[in-house]
Structure 1
Amino acid sequence: MRKQLLLAALLLTTVKGFAGSIDYLSQQDAEYFAHPSMTGKIGVSGAYYNPAGTAFMENGTYMQINNQTHLKTYKMEVDGLTFKSDKPSPIIPSFQLVHVNNGRSFFFHGGAIAGGGNVAYENGLGMFKTMETMLNSNPDMQKIGVNINFNPGSTVKGSSYYVTLQGGIAQKINDEWSFALGARYVNAERKLKGVGNYSLNMGPLNADPRFDINSERTAQGVTGIFGVDYKPSSKLNFAFRYETETRLNFKTKEKNLDNFKNSFGIFNNTDISSNIYNAIVSNKNVKEWVNGARGKRNLPAMASLGASYAITEKTTLLASGNYYFIKEAGDTFGAYDNYHNGYEIAVGIDHQLNEKWTLMTGYQYTNTGANKHTYKDTDYALDADMFGLGAKYKYNENLDLMATGATVLYHSATSVTNVKYSKHVYSIGLGATYKFN
């Protein structure tokens, strides 16, 4: 008989869609996909990457509108079974707005600061199979002769979005130095919905319980932002940005999980149903999705340092690094247990072909701080190499258009439960920047 055990659905929390560390998403505009080394640049993108640098821009009001499209393939493999999601994220908008007046600027940015978009795993999750092994090896279950088998075929869907709006002010101190202060509001939402199929039997006795989940976790928080820009010459620029830890106290609402208690048929209200239910809802991958669960999963503090250098009138070199203070971040449910602090290193080139066209390319290495003790179906943050390419077109004096693309090659890894995780993402960015007269 089939037991649709939700234990699968419960497991799908945040599977990251691109670069960054833990839940963070580093890509905040279209230009990032061409060269992710953005911190040292001065421009409209600085509303996020280099807020202090916006004070050095020419007087005026600038707006940039972006869209990201991600073509994603995520896979889990265990005991000869493959669990795969290839659900794309076609529309992820963001914007930057900067107003500059005589060395003082006001900057604003809106987008998705963290999360992984949507996923839909056919056959369920790798954890379904490893949970089967765990339950069947339970001494109490063995003693009474209960056997549970996972049957592929279910679909688990999940989404994770951290929508953000930030703003602040930057001020030039002199011709070389400027600083910025700002704040960010984050509205985080995680959803998980799905079922898992199992067979449950004890000798000639069988049951067909249905166990599914429909859970939503939400939180809100505020981040402090501090930036400094140092411009020793017209060719060279350095920038630094620090973001405080964002405290996010998640609250969970779940609609279907309690139905599992009464879905065991002839095994209802027995030690069998109690043991299975308790094993699932107390699992570290599941307990945060249970109705009424509350706890912190903060976004870590981070620091970013970048530089740009114009080696010729037409060619500019870029370099930057991000560092994520994961070990210090507040975490009630153990999501960050065993992590090391993560980092990213990026380089890039801008080359102006002529008055109309500029070509861009770059590379980034991401070390998420994860290892085999941290990987699970809900959060497998894999190290990655990113390669980007793009072009800008100056349509007229006020309008610039941009198209970029990147491929992210993730390093596959295996967890302590012998589940192999892998990802591959292709990303496309489109952007338009307008300067108001």
Structure 2
Amino acid sequence: MRSLKKAGSAMVLAMSIHPLFAGGLLTNTNHNIAFNRNFARDGVIAIDGVYSNPAGVAFLDKGWHLSLNFQNAYQTRTIQSGMVVKAAQSTPFYMPFVLNGGDAEGTKTYVGKASVPILPSFQGAYVGDKWSFQLGIGLIGGGGKATFDDGLGSFERQVALIPASLAQAGMASSTPGYSLASNIKGQQYIFGVQMGATYKFNEHLSAYAGMRVNYVYNKYTGSITDISANIGGVNQNLYAYFGNLATTYNTQAAALRAQAETVTDATLKAKLLAGAAQAEGGAQMLTAKQTQVKDKHLECEQRGWGVTPIIGLDFKAGRWNVGTRLELNTHLNIENDTKVDDTGLFQHGVNTPSDLPGLWTLGAQYSILPNLRAMASYHLYFDKSARMANNKQDLLGGNTQEFLAGMEWDITPNITVSAGGQRTKYNLGDGAYLTDMSFVTSSYSIGLGAQVKLAKNMRLNVAYFWTNYEKFDKTYQQTVVTNANPLATVTLDNTDRFTRTNKVLGVGLDIDF
């Protein structure tokens, strides 16, 4: 029955809610609607370059340039989890998920939903003869609320062993089954304020230096309640069931001790006292089991901050423009501010590493015609150098790479349409990095949209992009310990299939003066 304690702990580990958008493992790159309609912005001269190509901002017209953007994002995360206990083959406990709604192959599907109703961002720049100064505000990571209404496979795997343990303990059922109620809500926000300056050496070359101050705010609430199992044909809440049994045994023990006080026969007295001790031992064991299956709750907030140094270059010649930037690794430690933690895994005041990985980008734009442009970019995220809790980054096979391309066409002097694609390739190794509580898979993204000139100095951007995620299959073994004999240790053969969906709609306004 010690497996029940592990089930409660697994619930809390699920609080590592992952960011919603395209980009590195912990990075959002969609800070402007122009990106949503054409991802390859790293070699483009425009106001959204405050994030994507800050050195290129020096080549904008002199004066002030502002961009205000709003996005709406929706994402689902789907995990198909399976579990086989080979030691229980030919019994109802061979594929335990079947006992709580799993399919005939012992697989259950868990869906998490995440949404960002409104995600704002801002870019602003003042461009002079040689110097320009920039400010960008946005969410560098996270940015939404994620909800898992039905828990996850990692919640359920340990609880799913309960019917077998009960059968071994003499509390069998002709209709074995179990249930639990679990719920997780997570919010993760990494706010970034980027400041920097660009110097234009000549009409061809400019350089940028700046930094981004990042502030992390996470909030997690969750519970796992009503762990129940079928005993003797009746579904029983185990906390109440074990508690009632413990009370019954304690009552029996008290009665036996009272009876022992009234007898004079030494043999009978010893027998009654031995019975009382046995009943008390049973009550203590049941009380311990009751503690293991009690409802568990979590309420924790996390905060932290860190600074990202950024440098960049832009080279402009004829029909070509090439931009590059380097963001160094951001050291972040987040500190727990825990109100309730029935698992002991989110101890108040504990700091956890949660770095933002460094990033190198290279992009180019080529003007095929005065009104037709092609773009291409490359991103390299230094994920292996970003510290994570328990050195999780060591489980990655390598760093993340992205390949981006797009086109822009000025249909008229007042209307521009564009489209682009992005290939994100994670190096996940053998999949040990992935859990149902925090996972990514490689993907393809497609974006399209338009820019409409509303006035001489005002432009409206609208765009939509979606991401198609690959499926990643993970197969692994897990060993758990129970108090039930002969299954003192049990090996589980687990499978997880991970995939996601992502859709983002955005609108933005650019103003020059």
TM-score normalised by the chain length of structure 2: 0.74
Identity %: 26
Deviates more, 1:423-432 or 1:151-160: 151-160
Question: Deviation string for 1:183-242 (max 9, x for gaps)?
Answer: 100001222111123345899757351111111221100010000001122x10000000
8 Å Cα contact 2:38/2:406 also seen in 1: yes
Q: Quick one: which of 87, 109, 115 aligns to 1:82?
A: 109
Once the two structures are superposed, the pairs formed by residues 24-39 of structure 1 within 5 Å of their partners are 24-39=27-42
8 Å Cα contact 2:446/2:465 also seen in 1: yes
- State how far apart, in whole Å, the 1-side matches of 2:315 and 2:163 are: 62
Question: Cα distance, 1:429 vs. partner?
Answer: 1.2
Once the two structures are superposed, the pairs formed by residues 37-436 of structure 1 within 5 Å of their partners are 37-79=40-82, 80-115=107-142, 117-132=144-159, 151-197=179-225, 198-199=227-228, 200=238, 205=286, 207=290, 209-233=294-318, 235-257=319-341, 260=342, 287=345, 289-339=346-396, 340-371=398-429, 372-415=431-474, 416=476, 417-436=494-513
Question: Deviation string for 1:63-111 (max 9, x for gaps)?
Answer: 0000111121112221322221234211010000010011321111000
8 Å Cα contact 2:61/2:127 also seen in 1: yes
Question: Cα distance, 1:369 vs. partner?
Answer: 2.8
- State how far apart, in whole Å, the 1-side matches of 2:132 and 2:317 are: 20
- State how far apart, in whole Å, the 1-side matches of 2:178 and 2:206 are: 60
8 Å Cα contact 1:358/1:391 also seen in 2: yes
Question: Cα distance, 1:350 vs. partner?
Answer: 0.4
Match of 2:58, SS state, is helix
Deviates more, 1:198-207 or 1:86-95: 198-207
- 1:102 counterpart letter in structure 2: D
Match of 2:329, SS state, is coil
- State how far apart, in whole Å, the 1-side matches of 2:472 and 2:191 are: 29
Q: In the superposition, relative to structure 1, how do residues 142 and 345 fare at CA in structure 2: closer, same or farther (>3 Å)?
A: farther
Bigger radius of gyration, 1 or 2? 2
- 1:212 counterpart letter in structure 2: H
- 2:375 counterpart letter in structure 1: L
Q: Quote the RMSD (CA, aligned, Å).
A: 2.8
Q: In the superposition, relative to structure 1, how do residues 118 and 102 fare at CA in structure 2: closer, same or farther (>3 Å)?
A: same
- State how far apart, in whole Å, the 1-side matches of 2:183 and 2:457 are: 48
- State how far apart, in whole Å, the 2-side matches of 1:163 and 1:73 are: 23
Match of 1:292, SS state, is coil
Q: In the superposition, relative to structure 1, how do residues 333 and 240 fare at CA in structure 2: closer, same or farther (>3 Å)?
A: same
- State how far apart, in whole Å, the 2-side matches of 1:137 and 1:246 are: 48
8 Å Cα contact 1:9/1:192 also seen in 2: no
8 Å Cα contact 2:224/2:297 also seen in 1: yes
Question: Deviation string for 1:1-42 (max 9, x for gaps)?
Answer: x99946424412122212111111111111111111110000
- 1:397 counterpart letter in structure 2: K
Question: Cα distance, 1:118 vs. partner?
Answer: 0.9
8 Å Cα contact 2:71/2:504 also seen in 1: yes
Gapped runs of 5+ residues in structure 2?
Answer: 83-106, 229-237, 246-285, 477-493
Q: In the superposition, relative to structure 1, how do residues 129 and 105 fare at CA in structure 2: closer, same or farther (>3 Å)?
A: same
8 Å Cα contact 1:352/1:358 also seen in 2: yes
Question: Deviation string for 1:264-317 (max 9, x for gaps)?
Answer: xxxxxxxxxxxxx6xxx5xxxxx4x33332132211111000000000011100
Q: In the superposition, relative to structure 1, how do residues 122 and 303 fare at CA in structure 2: closer, same or farther (>3 Å)?
A: same
Question: Cα distance, 1:43 vs. partner?
Answer: 0.8
- State how far apart, in whole Å, the 1-side matches of 2:171 and 2:417 are: 64
Q: In the superposition, relative to structure 1, how do residues 49 and 146 fare at CA in structure 2: closer, same or farther (>3 Å)?
A: farther
Question: Deviation string for 1:306-339 (max 9, x for gaps)?
Answer: 0000000111000001101111223342332311
The number of residues matched between the two structures is 405
Deviates more, 1:79-88 or 1:316-325: 79-88
8 Å Cα contact 1:62/1:433 also seen in 2: yes
8 Å Cα contact 1:382/1:412 also seen in 2: yes
- State how far apart, in whole Å, the 1-side matches of 2:222 and 2:199 are: 50
The answer to which structure has the higher helix fraction is 2
Q: In the superposition, relative to structure 1, how do residues 352 and 212 fare at CA in structure 2: closer, same or farther (>3 Å)?
A: same
8 Å Cα contact 1:6/1:212 also seen in 2: no
Question: Deviation string for 1:111-148 (max 9, x for gaps)?
Answer: 0001252111111122102344689999xx99989999
Question: Cα distance, 1:414 vs. partner?
Answer: 2.8
Question: Cα distance, 1:162 vs. partner?
Answer: 0.3
8 Å Cα contact 1:121/1:157 also seen in 2: yes
Q: In the superposition, relative to structure 1, how do residues 236 and 383 fare at CA in structure 2: closer, same or farther (>3 Å)?
A: same
